[in-house]
Amino acid sequence: MALEDAKSAVDTAFTRETLRGCSFENTFGGATSFLRRRYTKDLSGVDIAVTGVPFDQAVTNRPGTRLGPRAIREASTLQAFDPPYGWDFNVMDEFDIVDFGDLAFDYAKISDFPDALTNHIRSILNADTATVTLGGDHYITFPILKAYAEKYGPISLLQFDAHTDTWADDDMDRIDHGTMFYKAVKMGLVDPATSVQVGIRTVNDDTLGVNIIDAREVHETGPAAVVAKIKSIVGSNPTYLTFDIDALDPAYAPGTGTPVWGGLTSAQAAIMLRDLAGINMVGGDIVEVSPPFDTTGATAIAGAHVATELLSLWGATRRKT
């Protein structure tokens, strides 16, 4: 640890001079940007923008995920000192990463929210910058996918979740965090044949052709076998990775709106995310962290680790070696 830096560094979210490198600011002080990256709206030369979407008005049970981006940023301060464990490179050293801040939207005019989010992500992608989004409930992935499909065409969806979120709903304007991937498939945003949902442990009779690796399969065959299966399905296709924190068992992530027992362990998730290196991940998100139900902060900590792994996954195939 750079002790001298720790003695003098403060508010590096605003004061840091470079977009690269670890940060040695005290974890318990200062402005809490994600991984202490610089807060900026300037995307000149930026590789990845981390952005928050504090929206939770599509939930079917417990609310609170509007506070998720703030909690994940705070939890991430403990990771800013060191290279992400298990990788052969430090994404913070090799790529220009910024915290783009949160989406602004009118909380009292929910009908305008989807287009506002699509436009927000579109503006980042138009700058040739990728996104890692901090949610927010899982509905937010649907407007994000619209922007990504505009750029890449129908993409592969790699979803870690307790629920498929493909329950039928042909009202494309309805805002619900359990039906958005049904809509994404029906609208041609997602190619179901090359998409995978991991950790599923709730019943949905029609999964629209999306490949399912349920939680029991993960437990019985192990993370390495699951990763091999995922890679054989998504291939080299542009892939969007969405991680619903309820993919983890409530023992590891209690702070979420729709917890389901029998889920993944944090160790299984960590192994899979690291071993997925090599897939063509073009963007991703971490959703459904609900701080009001996260009494120890464990769920936000898990969310911060997931987001850091997403950064590393994106960087793994884009390094200049």
Residue 243 contacts residue 160 (beta carbons within 8 Å): yes
CB neighbour list of residue 171: distance below 8 Å, 6 or more residues apart: none
Q: Cα separation of 78 and 149, whole Å?
A: 34
Degrees, nearest 5: CA angle 314-74-262 = 70
φ, ψ for residue 133, nearest 5 deg: -105, 140
* Two structure tokens written together for 194: 């090359």
Residue 63 contacts residue 281 (beta carbons within 8 Å): no
Tell whether 165 is in a known binding site: yes
Tell whether 177 is in a known binding site: no
Whose structure tokens read 């605003």?
A: 14
Tell whether 138 is in a known binding site: yes
Q: Cα separation of 316 and 295, whole Å?
A: 34
Tell whether 163 is in a known binding site: yes
Q: Cα separation of 185 and 206, whole Å?
A: 12
Tell whether 47 is in a known binding site: no
Q: Cα separation of 201 and 260, whole Å?
A: 8
Q: Cα separation of 228 and 231, whole Å?
A: 5
* Two structure tokens written together for 307: 């987001």
Binding-site residues: 138, 161, 163, 165, 244, 246
Binding residues for Mn(2+): 138, 161, 163, 165, 244, 246
